[in-house]
Amino acid sequence: MAGTKTFFIIKPGAVSHEYIGPILAKINANGFHIAALKLIQLDRYHAEHFYAVHHEKPFFESLVTFMTSGPVVVGILEKENAVADYRKLMGATDPAKAEEGTIRKLFAENIERNAVHGSDSDENAEIECNFFFSKSERYSKFED
Ligand code: ATP
Ligand code: MG
């Protein structure tokens, strides 16, 4: 059975353009419960660790520089089928290929500065939520 939570980031760019409010409104309008939320500055260590799976890619250095260029919002979203439903709401990685009405179509600047992150599996959602939030920092509708 699909899990009920996912981890998300509102990336620099979207934060500096004052899109936090509009993006959170879209998330709520699509039936997600916000179970945890904070505005933080990622340091190089955490950004490299978070995107470690991409460390061999040609865009890795640029991606880490971008992700540490200003504050980000990190949070936990809850809903039945959270991972897949939130990835659908985000839209394609490249906003030029994203469907109308998706967050990336509305708020992304380009394939790198693409407004938001969302976990790609229940397993990674668990790892990413635990990377940024302790249990006492969450207000869950699904868990104790
Ligand atoms: P995310 O993991 O941030 O939710 P995603 O799963 O849609 O995005 P990934 O393939 O995991 O896409 O890439 C991670 C991030 O790396 C992208 O969101 C984007 O910021 C950046 N990225 C991906 N592909 C490219 C590329 N070809 N050029 C520049 N940046 C890229
Ligand atoms: Mg990804």
Task: Give 65-116 pLDDT, tens digit per residue.
Answer: 999 999 999 999 999 999 999 999 999 999 999 999 999 999 999 999 999 9
Q: How far is the CA of 139 from the centre of ligand 2 (A)?
A: 25
Q: Are strands 116-118 and 33-40 parallel, antiparallel or unpaired?
A: unpaired
26 pocket-lining for ligand 1 (C-beta < 6 Å):
no
Structural domain total, the chain: 1
Q: What CA–CA distance (Å, rounded) separates 72 from 24?
A: 13
Q: Would you say residue 37 has pLDDT above 70?
A: yes
How far apart are the two ends of the chain, measured CA to CA in Å? 19
Contact call for residues 11 and 71 (beta carbons, < 8 A): no
Indicate whether 96 belongs to any domain: yes
Whether the CB of 65 sits within 6 Å of ligand 1? no
Structure-block tokens of residue 6: 């996912």
Token look-up 């760019």 returns 13
What's the CA gap between 58 and 91, in Å, rounded? 23
CB-side exposure of 119: number of CA atoms within 13 Å? 25
pLDDT at 144: 61
Asked if residue 143 is part of any domain, the answer here is no
Q: How far, in Å, CA of 29 to CA of 142, rounded? A: 19
Whole-number Å distance between alpha carbons of 26 and 52: 29
Determine the pLDDT at residue 143: 75
Neighbour tally for 82: CB within 10 Å: 27
- Within-domain flag for 28: yes
User: 142 lies in a domain?
Assistant: no
Residue-range definition of the domain harbouring residue 34: 5-137
What are the two backbone dihedrals, phi and then psi, of residue 5, each rounded to the nearest 5 degrees? Answer: -140, 155
Please choose from 9, 63, 110 the residue to mutate so as to test ligand 1's pocket, defined by most ligand atoms within 8 A of CB. 63
User: pLDDT value at position 142?
Assistant: 87
In a domain, 93, yes or no: yes
**Domain contains 144:** no
Which CATH number covers residue 15? 3.30.70.141
pTM, two decimal places:
0.97
CA distance 68 to 65: 5
